[in-house]
Amino acid sequence: MKRHKTLVFIIFLLMAAMVWMLINYLKNEQTTNLSCLTINQNKVNSQIDIRNYIKNDDVMLKKYQIYYTKSQPDLIYKVDKSNDTVKSMTLISDQSINTNFNTSINNRIQNVKNYLGKNFIEKKLRNGFKATIYVDKDNQIKLSLIHKDNKIKKLKSIRSNFKNDIPFRYVIF
């Protein structure tokens, strides 16, 4: 009986040590400063004049509204209803829209990696797509670049608490 208690104690002690190591690893994970990044001269968490944008009535959200412009329908803004603040920007297929981090749609992913550095996570998606994800923990911004054959197909900049994001396995192309 005493052996069983000792064995159970050792197992719990090992589990506690593993949890402590995991927490320290997650705390010390590298971060990239994404606070200055812009897509079409707009930043995440900046206010926009919604009179210059077209409201997408097909999407109904409780706290947010979806907007785009007539000249650039592939650049989609998710805007907070209460204060007109951009919470997310998604660029799908318009190659003419530029960013200040050295890329646009169908450019090489290596250009972004050279500009932003090595602190990214790369995930494999369906149909040969990959996601390269940069995280700024200080400013709570996430930049996701979906690419295939080293060509960027979609980019998304999000300001969030990272808990309410849709996992990338649910992204449909």
Instruction: Give rounded-to-5 percent helix, strand, coil for the chain.
Output: 25, 30, 45
Percent pLDDT > 70 in the chain is 90
pLDDT given at position 76: 92
Q: Kindly report the length of the chain.
A: 173
Domain layout of the chain by residue ranges: 1-30, 32-170
**CA 157 to the chain's CA centroid:** 5
Q: What is the average per-residue pLDDT within 103-113?
A: 90
Q: Which residue has the tokens 């999407």?
A: 59
pLDDT given at position 18: 94
**CA dist., res. 99 & res. 118, Å (int):** 19
Percent pLDDT > 90 in the chain is 37
Beta bridge partners of 89: 77, 157
By the 10 Å C-beta count (0-12 exposed, 13-18 middle, 19+ buried), 127 is classed as exposed
What token pair was written down for 111?
């250009």
Q: What are the tens digits of pLDDT across the range 28-84?
A: 667 888 888 888 888 888 898 989 999 998 988 899 999 999 888 999 999 999 998
pLDDT given at position 170: 38
**CA dist., res. 52 & res. 72, Å (int):** 12
Alpha-helical regions (H) of 28-162: 109-116
Write down the mean pLDDT value for the chain. Answer: 85
Beta bridge partners of 154: 146
**CA dist., res. 166 & res. 163, Å (int):** 9
pTM assigned to the model: 0.75
Q: Which residue has the tokens 């050295």?
A: 102
What token pair was written down for 154?
């979609």
